[in-house]
Amino acid sequence: MRAAALKAGRGIRWYLKQATGESKWDEYLQRCNREDVEPVSRRDFERHRAEQKENNPKSRCC
Amino acid sequence: MSTVTSPDQTGPKMTPKSMVGWCAVAVVGAVCWTILALSRGENVSALWILFAALSSYAIAYRFYSRFIAHKVLGVDNTRATPAERLENGVDFDVTDRRVLFGHHFAAIAGAGPLVGPVLAAQMGYLPGTIWIIVGVIFAGAVQDMVVLFFSMRRDGKSVGQMVREEIGTVGGVAALIAVFSIMIIILAVLALVVVNALAASPWGVFSIGLTIPIALFMGFYLRYLRPGRVMEATGIGVALMLAAIIGGGYVDQMGLAQTLTLSKETLVICLIVYGFLASILPVWMLLTPRDYLSTFMKVGVIVLLAIGLIIARPVLQNQAITDFAIKGNGPVFAGKLFPFVFITIACGALSGFHALIASGTTPKMIAKESQVRMIGYGGMLMESFVAISALIAASVINQGLYFTINSPASATGGTPGAAAEFIRTLGFTISPSDLSAAAHSVHEITLISRTGGAPTLAFGISLIFTKAFGGALAAFWYHFAIMFEALFILTAVDAGTRVGRFMLQDTIGNVWPRYANISWKPASWSASAVVVALWGYMLYVGVTDPIGGIYQLFPLFGTSNQLLAAIALALCVTLMFKHGKARYVWVPGIALVWDLIITMTASWEKVFSSDAKIGYFQQRSVFQTALDKHHLIAPAKTMDQMQQVIANSTLNGFLQALFAVLTLIVVASAIPVWVKAAKSGGLPTTEVPRQPSHLVAAAEIFATAQEKQAVREYEAAQRELAASGRPR
């Protein structure tokens, strides 16, 4: 029972991190680690992502 | 290890167990439909509609969408998707299917599926129910899935681009103009819904107004305080937003009630200023955080509504089919069941706007071809379910009250006494004191002629939630629902203005390249101003229309959305022929033919009808003749208003005709391509040649045991590769 609840909780957390794009930072860190590169600060990383959103508007339907 | 051999690929045999299961679903569906078809004048539970919908969706998804995926489109999991081939972590980005489903659904579902069914409830619950369910299965979901597939095979090209490349330049230009102008109408009508929901509602203005500082706070939080912590910021934002809804109940005590009781004209100006600022400010400040809030509210309310409906088990107050459906003289919008029920309910059954989303962001993020079924078809079924819920919410309200809220002020007269009398002439009864009591119960000054669908839906949701969850929270739930709808309409207006601005800059950039530079302020500001001015003008026309903005403009909105669908479906048919799949062309073909029948009949009637309530130009000439003789025609009260009716109906009639002609140009320029392709058994297309896929991912929401095993093996292999220091 408790194990199932924990599993569901982890699943929801994973989903929200993916859906909100928070996981992008973790993925970036992993990649830097793998490729042995010094990562930029989180602030700079998120600015870079905001910049991309600025130039790629997404439609929202009615 | 290139793919998972899912049973779908190999032509499965159904197990006896699953056969029994599907027979049971079919029986449930058949029983629900029979009860809906046979019940007249009795107390019918709303759950029959709900379960008729769910079982029909399940069967359509299991059988029809699978047939489309494997036979009609021929999805190929050994073929790399654009996300896999062109992955750059920005727009091309392999995304988990369940996450992408969420993104796609959040992008397609907005106020449309909530508003249309509410208005269509004037014809009874049955026509709307049938159209929403049958329409989505054979038209709406098919369009979304097929466009998504073809765009995915072309690296995520837009519908406009595909029409130009696959049909021809003339069709392409017509499609571009149609997309842009239809978007303007859609933004104007959505904004009109918000204006009508917030006018003379200090509580609503208070809580919606506060979402702006809340979003700004979230924006600064994510930019400076804790960059990237979206969940934290959204949690804080949602808590503040709920506080803003509760706080709105105390506007009287705060002495703000007077200040926040705004007229429709004031709200129009606020919206125009807001829309302009939102489209030129950096997105991190306002647009992105608002989008988080509105997505949260959207999903939250939909889930809550489904649970609420099942607990409350409300009884339908609406008739199955009203007289208005047959006579065409309904007070909410004019016209008979055919074709007007089919164009009033666009989103939820068939929405052309989805083709823009299915050919934009989503196709660039799909991991496996077979996932177009779950995301395209499944996403649209989910939106259809939202539409069904909205139809139910509008049908559980006392019908006298429903017509009081939804009839234009020109009909109800605006006071409880006059409204009650008007309702009596429609054949329903509600007393003036009941009307005042209903408004009082949700802390509104009045509910008379609060057209646009949002107040009706909010009232229905408030009834359902109060019954389901108990407590004396009717007013809270009402404003909660208004917030829910206004929030994502405003997000759609922000985002739409921005998309429109980019389209305009891009188009003008063809002749003046510098103008296309999106960071050049003079260009971006002037393009934003043009887009805002266009929808702002239409919004102003709607708000000040003496006959009633929703009554006049909603048919234009519905038709234009479905004319867009006709363009998208014509493209799908063209591509079926070009790919040499004439055998299956009927799949998008029946949707196209039906869509053309309803939109062209509706456009014809709106343009040429000799009934002044329906035909825009007939209306114009009736008012013009009277004006020449210095006569007034109700509802106009002054000569100026007579002039206004004439100007508005001319504009509306012109737009209605323009959209229909643009669509016909696209279809007409496609037909020669069909003939040529059908004769030669196919033509070359811009499809990107096949490249093998190395990625492993499941096809459906729930992965099979086989798929899970394959994904585990694949991930282990990836880790091993990574550990050995070689990037993938």
- What are the pLDDT digits (tens) for B99-109? 999 999 999 99
How many whole angstroms separate alpha carbon B638 and alpha carbon B225? 57
* Section B299-305 average pLDDT: 92
Contact predicate B102/A55, CB 8 Å: no
Residue B23: phi and psi, rounded to 5, are -65, -40
> What confidence category does residue B721 fall into, taking pLDDT thresholds of 50, 70 and 90?
confident
Pairwise CB contact (< 8 Å): B99 & A18: yes
* Section B293-303 average pLDDT: 91
> Residue B51 pLDDT more than 60?
yes
Q: What number of C-beta contacts closer than 8 Å exist between A and B?
A: 100
Interface test with A, best of B95, B283, B559 (most A CBs within 10 A): B283
* B692 beta partners: B79
Instruction: Calculate how close chain B gets to A9, using CA atoms only, in Å.
Output: 15
Query: What are the residues whose beta carbons fall under 8 Å from the beta carbon of B623, sequence distance 6 or more?
Result: B633, B636, B642, B645, B646, B649
Question: H-type helices in B545-613, by residue range?
Answer: 549-578, 586-608
Pairwise CB contact (< 8 Å): B227 & A43: yes
How many whole angstroms separate alpha carbon B500 and alpha carbon B184? 8
> What confidence category does residue B518 fall into, taking pLDDT thresholds of 50, 70 and 90?
confident
A62 contact residues in B (CB cutoff 8 A)? 110-112, 186, 190, 347, 351, 353, 492, 561
Q: What is the pLDDT of residues B13-31, one digit of tens each?
A: 789 999 999 999 999 999 9
Gyration radius from chain A CA atoms: 16
Minimal Cβ distance to B107: which of A45, A55, A60: A60
C-alpha dihedral over B368, B683, B156, B97, to 10 degrees?
A: -20
- Cα three-residue angle B121-B127-B130, rounded to 5 degrees: 120
* Section B110-116 average pLDDT: 92
Minimal Cβ distance to A46: which of B228, B495, B496: B228
Pairwise CB contact (< 8 Å): A15 & B98: yes
B491 near A CB under 8 A: yes
Instruction: Calculate how close chain B gets to A17, using CA atoms only, in Å.
Output: 8
Scanning A2-31 for CB atoms below 8 A from B yields 15-22, 24-25
Pairwise CB contact (< 8 Å): A15 & B495: no
Pairwise CB contact (< 8 Å): B284 & A17: no
Contact predicate B473/B464, CB 8 Å: no
Instruction: Calculate how close chain A gets to B379, using CA atoms only, in Å.
Output: 13
B353 contact residues in A (CB cutoff 8 A)? 59, 61-62
How many whole angstroms separate alpha carbon B727 and alpha carbon B579? 37
Q: What is the pLDDT of residues B407-461, one digit of tens each?
A: 999 999 999 999 999 999 999 999 999 999 999 999 999 999 999 999 999 999 9
A39 near B CB under 8 A: no
> By percentage, how much of chain B surpasses pLDDT 70?
98
Query: What residue of A is the nearest CA neighbor of B101?
Result: A19
Is the model's pTM score more than 0.80?
yes
Pairwise CB contact (< 8 Å): A62 & B186: yes
Q: What is the pLDDT of residues B537-551, one digit of tens each?
A: 999 999 999 999 999
pLDDT at residue A55 in the model: 81
Handedness of CA B353, B359, B364, B366 (dihedral sign): positive
> What confidence category does residue A59 fall into, taking pLDDT thresholds of 50, 70 and 90?
confident
> What confidence category does residue B12 fall into, taking pLDDT thresholds of 50, 70 and 90?
low
Query: What are the residues whose beta carbons fall under 8 Å from the beta carbon of B282, sequence distance 6 or more?
Result: A50, A54
> What confidence category does residue A60 fall into, taking pLDDT thresholds of 50, 70 and 90?
confident
Pairwise CB contact (< 8 Å): A62 & B98: no
* Section B113-126 average pLDDT: 96
> Residue B728 pLDDT more than 80?
no
Pairwise CB contact (< 8 Å): B492 & A62: yes
Q: Identify the helix (H) or strand (E) that includes residue B530.
A: helix B521-544
pLDDT at residue B714 in the model: 92
